[in-house]
Chain A
């Protein structure tokens, strides 16, 4: 490991407190009203008695997330120790809330923040909440595969030079596709320029627990990181952690206040105990777990490369800069060259083969491998791809590749979001300033964000992605026929 644990990682204080509370058979005259499941037999049958029994309320023995002084504090301290952070916060409103808390901690109204355009929607949402202005860095892309990369160092340097007053740099580590840039270098140059470095590690939990994986935000001295334990670490959906680096010593109280602006005051003990138990599991067994995950992913990559038609890309594409590292647990597969868009393969796998993968874009699919995968399931995925090639292969002619469409930012996302708007048919929206998001989901990276000029290229992309079956989202009009734009 890159750091020694200073605490006893065998402990799981929140989990232990919950068990003790339950074993004491306390009579509940507090919320939740289902009273350990008795009031909702159907739900109890579906989810199980022990699940409903652990759905408890804040109280002295169980502490309180908004002001932790006992078992939640201890559990968070253990998490900070496990992740090599100065402090850690349990988050129960997804990594979206972690990303927002990071941004809201360091930027305010009118401040500039440097970020790649391929950030998750939650980062731009944070700009709407704060009124900060994005300085987008073109992440560049791998032309052959049509995947966006991480930020090249030269472009980060250029943005820092051109915007010396920017407060922070936000970095994806890794991107959805498993691509990592040179985070260590970005931290150095940003810190030198007096800027904070915020890291969206929604897909990077595992980096913290394996020598064989990539540098994590805490390891390279970043200031804050949003870590989606539920994505690859095994905790329940919606549970997440926000980490503060050593450089943020003394900030934990303020960050908690920021988190409490938007976080629930009835934090779920199911989510929090899942974080506590997962942290213990990862601290004690993470190395072994992820070396098995890497083995499975490498095996799958080799087998898929041997199949006709598909290309499972990996470290061979690393270029030392915008694609400095590849996350070996990601199984990213290029599909376009055998005549199918990733979106199509994504749908075929689910509808015809009963296999759900994480996402498909215009030319690629991504399968996420993590703590719970088995050899047998990997075999199914490989065999299904072989069969799709047999039955569906075609020509890549006419299939579009992903392209990075550089946005034209006309005003801050906040200004645009709250400005008076009109609704226009989306095909007639060219030339207007957009006041809402348009995204393909997953991956949930905006094609259009509030404050950006709507261009011909973006509309082409949206039309094509819709045609290929991508789920579009983000607009007020649920059918995505109309787009809200600024009133001229």
Chain B
């Protein structure tokens, strides 16, 4: 018998991964949660039919989200992590002993519980004494904070569904308030490739750019995400991601990585021309075919 997980990545494109067996399926208040055992990618976490992470390639996404700001900001003590119920970003943050306190705000308790059971390598990070988990709406949590964090990481789902509120100007405006005067915010910034996603990239960038004086995107190659080409946003009140990169200082910390290194850090901010056009050429029009493909 053959079982395949299939995800629609664009109107006419699907990614399929061969499944050994389903480990967990639940419908929470917010979304359907699936954890599947696959041949090629190990265990995979799927929310509402969208692939969130695989054991095989999660290191790329999480290392790029965490190490880029950590190699720039000279003294991160207090971190806010929004979304990220899988523990992947958290486990990388915990590699830095100077971090004293991490608030993790996840809206869906059941994601954390499922990951604790089925993805313990990542989710055991929730047991660290520096970690404080809050089950709450990220938007609500952050608007009550003022001048508190050195670093905010927004590890959200796509902007359609429970993560929608995390792609809004009001969210980033409130994050600005929650950051200290030299704070940095990094978000997952979607893919610039397929038109529907590209439109979101442009929308998010438009909303966040006026809020932070320093706003640059960087990229990584993530095999299982739509098109494989993924962006992150680096939004900062003071530190510049390249000028303030402390290459030697970061190397001294001896953080084990498989994707990130300071040379890649520099290169990641060099964006392809089509992405620059998407961000800066207001005239560029994007035709979006809103036809749903019929199964």
Contacts and interface: CB of A to CB of B under 8 A. Distances in A.
Q: Is the interface of B mostly helix, strand, loop or mixed?
A: helix
Interface residues of B, number: 16
Contacts of B169: 352-354, 384, 387
B173 A379 contact: no
Q: Is the interface of A mostly helix, strand, loop or mixed?
A: helix
Interface in A367-395: 375-376, 379-380, 382-384, 386-387, 390-391
Contacts of B165: 376, 379-380, 383
Interface in A458-479: none
B139 interface: yes
A390 B211 CA distance: 11
Contacts of A390: 173-174, 176-177
Given A353-B169, A384-B169, A376 B164 contact: yes
A387 B164 contact: no
A67 B208 CA distance: 57
B162 A383 contact: no
Contacts of A379: 137, 139-140, 165
Which of A376, A383, A390 gathers the greatest number of chain B CB atoms within 10 Å?
A383
Contacts of A391: 173
A383 B177 CA distance: 11
A387 B174 contact: yes
B9 interface: no
B168 A354 contact: yes
Contact of A380 (B162, B170, B177): B170
B162 A387 contact: no
A390 B146 CA distance: 11
Given A352-B169, A353-B169, A353-B170, A386 B143 contact: yes
B170 A386 contact: yes
B142 to A, nearest CB: 8
A145 B257 CA distance: 59
A379 B107 CA distance: 13
Given A354-B168, A380-B168, A386-B143, A375 B137 contact: yes
B170 A383 contact: yes
Contacts of B162: 376
Interface string B158-179: 0000101100111101101100
B170 A384 contact: yes
Interface in A240-298: none
Nearest to A384: B170
Interface string B111-153: 0000000000000000000000000010110110000000000
Given A375-B137, A376-B137, A383 B168 contact: yes
Nearest to A377: B165
Nearest to A381: B170
Contacts of A354: 168-169
Contacts of B139: 376, 379-380, 383
B137 A382 contact: no
A416 B102 CA distance: 70
Contacts of B142: 383
Nearest to B291: A45
Contact of B168 (A353, A375, A386): A353
A11 to B, nearest CB: 32
Nearest to B171: A383
A376 B159 CA distance: 13
Contacts of B137: 375-376, 379
Contacts of A352: 169
Contacts of A382: 140, 143
B114 to A, nearest CB: 21
Given A383-B140, A387-B177, 5 more contacts: A352-B169, A379-B140, A384-B170, A386-B177, A390-B177
The 10 closest A-B pairs by CB, nearest first: A387-B173, A384-B170, A383-B170, A379-B139, A387-B170, A386-B143, A383-B143, A383-B139, A379-B140, A353-B169
Interface of A: 352-354, 375-376, 379-380, 382-384, 386-387, 390-391
Interface of B: 137, 139-140, 142-143, 162, 164-165, 168-171, 173-174, 176-177
11 contacts: A353-B168, A354-B169, A380-B165, A380-B170, A383-B168, A383-B170, A383-B171, A384-B169, A386-B170, A387-B174, A390-B176
